């Protein structure tokens, strides 16, 4: 039988250190990264529930507002937004799902790596550990899944709401079990979470099947702009400042939009051109379905990212950006 990245240790040293730190301290500040996602937010809320059941105090502070789809999460009213800070001093800080220190944004002004006792819990491959103590597992789908294994290993008090939060962390970070971080281990952990009474259909309806009318009106404009080049290998959408102004929306609501041109059958590259708030600048977000390294492509323009997903901020109009990027990508595609 194939034994993959399942936790094997009888003695999980990092977990014991975290457990000891919780036992020795009483008041915790909890935070995560800017551009808050489901894993970050739900990990914060789940950990808070467990700490409170242990009789500890815990306060969540983030720089960003939680996206609207998470408005149903139990305990959400406890989440504070910078510059609001806890009413009391804390003696421990949890940084969850952070990736790297600078992703904490403005909270770095209130939290000090030198003075504070920092407990870093993360699954990012890029992380080097920025805590006084760290519990890091790059082989696991999400920080939420790592927290579940920690709670289980340490016999910490779980309940249905904690299970729900960890479930949301996992389904969002795995793209509903569709990204390559989804493993048999993930499904086994999720099966256990469901045994606490998690309602998968309800959660899916709340997280993935709700959009504001304004957001859909913006999407309608994006769809109306959908175009392909002469041979259909490149597809793109365009949104201008007036599209945001007239629908009362912001760029925060467009995170998934680039997936639409990318999904066109025959398209090798999907692109989203967006006029930025800063006048005379255009954001070019690109996704690749082929072996064209978009990070390498973006670098000469001062952009970057990953091989399959990269972005560039360009000076000039949308038409200037189209005139530069489309022919340059056609040339690159011809080389494949
Ligand atoms: Mn994550």
Query: What would the mean pLDDT of 61-89 be, rounded to a whole number?
Result: 94
CA of 208 to the centre of ligand 1 (A): 17
CATH number of the domain that residue 269 is part of: 3.10.310.30
CB 247 within 8 A of CB 212: no
Same structural domain, 39 and 118: yes
Number of separate domains in the chain: 2
CA of 21 to the centre of ligand 1 (A): 23
- Please count the other Cβ atoms lying within 10 Å of the Cβ belonging to residue 166: 32
pLDDT for the residue 4:
55
The residues with which 133 forms a beta bridge, in sequence order, are 119
CA of 4 to the centre of ligand 1 (A): 20
CATH number of the domain that residue 193 is part of: 3.90.1640.10
CA of 129 to the centre of ligand 1 (A): 14
- Please count the other Cβ atoms lying within 10 Å of the Cβ belonging to residue 109: 10
CA of 137 to the centre of ligand 1 (A): 11
Specify the residue for token string 């249905």: 160
In a domain, 5, yes or no: no
Identify the band that residue 82 occupies on the pLDDT scale cut at 50, 70 and 90: very high
Same structural domain, 204 and 269: no
CA of 148 to the centre of ligand 1 (A): 13
- Helix or strand (DSSP H, E) at 312: strand 309-315
pLDDT for the residue 8:
67
CA of 36 to the centre of ligand 1 (A): 10
CA of 139 to the centre of ligand 1 (A): 12
pLDDT tens column, 252-286: 788 789 999 999 999 999 999 999 988 999 999 99
CA of 141 to the centre of ligand 1 (A): 7
Edge-to-edge strand ranges of the sheet holding 79-81: 79-81, 57-62, 27-31, 92-96, 118-122, 133-136
CA of 149 to the centre of ligand 1 (A): 15
CA of 97 to the centre of ligand 1 (A): 5
pLDDT tens column, 197-240: 999 999 999 999 999 999 999 999 999 999 999 999 999 999 99
Give the whole-angstrom CA distance, residue 173 versus residue 155: 25
**Residue after which a domain boundary falls, among 208, 241, 273:** 208
Same structural domain, 124 and 40: yes
Same structural domain, 230 and 175: no
CB 86 within 8 A of CB 93: no
**Residue after which a domain boundary falls, among 188, 208, 228:** 208
Same structural domain, 53 and 201: yes
Assessment of whether the complete model's pTM goes beyond 0.75? yes
CA of 227 to the centre of ligand 1 (A): 33
3-state helix, strand, coil in the chain (%, to 5): 40, 20, 40
Alpha helices in 100-228 (DSSP H): 143-153, 160-173, 184-194, 200-208, 213-224
CA distances to 22, 150, 189, 258 from 56, in Å: 8, 17, 26, 43
**Residue after which a domain boundary falls, among 208, 225, 250:** 208
Please compute Rg for the chain using Cα positions.
22
- Please count the other Cβ atoms lying within 10 Å of the Cβ belonging to residue 271: 27
CA of 45 to the centre of ligand 1 (A): 14
CA distances to 76, 204, 208, 292, 305 from 201, in Å: 20, 5, 10, 37, 34
pLDDT tens column, 41-53: 999 999 999 999 9
CA of 123 to the centre of ligand 1 (A): 7
CA of 173 to the centre of ligand 1 (A): 6
Q: What's the mean pLDDT when you consider all of the chain?
A: 93
Specify the residue for token string 């952990």: 189
In a domain, 75, yes or no: yes
CA distances to 63, 106, 156 from 82, in Å: 5, 8, 30
- Give me the domain span that covers residue 254: 213-334
Same structural domain, 163 and 223: no
Same structural domain, 223 and 107: no
Same structural domain, 289 and 329: yes
CA of 43 to the centre of ligand 1 (A): 9
Strands (E) across 11-63 are located at 27-31, 57-62
Instruction: Compute the residue count for the chain.
Output: 336
CA of 240 to the centre of ligand 1 (A): 31
pLDDT for the residue 126:
67
CA of 246 to the centre of ligand 1 (A): 34
């Amino acid at each position: 039988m194939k034994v993959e990245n399942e936790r094997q240790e009888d003695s999980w040293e990092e977990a014991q250190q975290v457990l000891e730190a919780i036992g020795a301290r009483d008041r915790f500040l909890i935070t995560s990264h800017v551009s808050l996602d489901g894993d970050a937010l739900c990990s914060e809320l789940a950990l808070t529930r467990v700490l409170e059941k242990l009789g500890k105090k815990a306060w969540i502070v983030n720089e960003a507002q939680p996206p609207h789809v998470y408005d149903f999460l139990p305990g959400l009213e406890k989440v504070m937004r910078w510059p609001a800070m806890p009413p009391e001093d804390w003696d421990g800080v949890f940084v969850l799902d952070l990736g790297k220190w600078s992703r904490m944004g403005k909270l770095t002004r209130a939290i000090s790596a030198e003075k504070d006792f920092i407990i870093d819990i993360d699954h990012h491959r890029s992380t080097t550990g920025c805590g006084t103590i760290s519990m890091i597992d790059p082989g696991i789908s999400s920080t939420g899944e790592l927290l579940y294994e920690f709670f289980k290993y340490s016999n910490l008090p779980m309940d249905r709401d904690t299970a729900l939060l960890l479930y949301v962390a996992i389904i969002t970070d795995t793209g509903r079990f569709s990204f390559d971080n989804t493993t048999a281990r993930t499904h086994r952990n999720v099966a256990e979470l469901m045994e606490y009474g998690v309602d998968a259909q309800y959660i899916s309806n709340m997280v993935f099947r709700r959009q504001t009318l304004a957001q859909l009106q913006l999407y309608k404009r994006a769809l109306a702009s959908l175009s392909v080049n002469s041979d259909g290998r490149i597809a793109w959408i365009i949104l201008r400042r007036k599209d945001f102004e007239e629908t009362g929306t912001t760029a925060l609501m467009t995170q998934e939009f680039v997936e639409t041109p990318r999904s066109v059958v025959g398209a090798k590259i999907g692109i989203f051109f967006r006029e930025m708030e800063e006048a005379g600048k255009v954001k070019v977000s690109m996704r690749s379905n082929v072996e064209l390294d978009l990070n390498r492509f973006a670098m000469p323009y001062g952009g970057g990212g990953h091989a399959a997903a990269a972005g560039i901020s360009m000076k000039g109009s949308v038409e200037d950006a189209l005139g530069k990027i489309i022919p340059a990508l056609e040339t690159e595609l011809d080389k494949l």
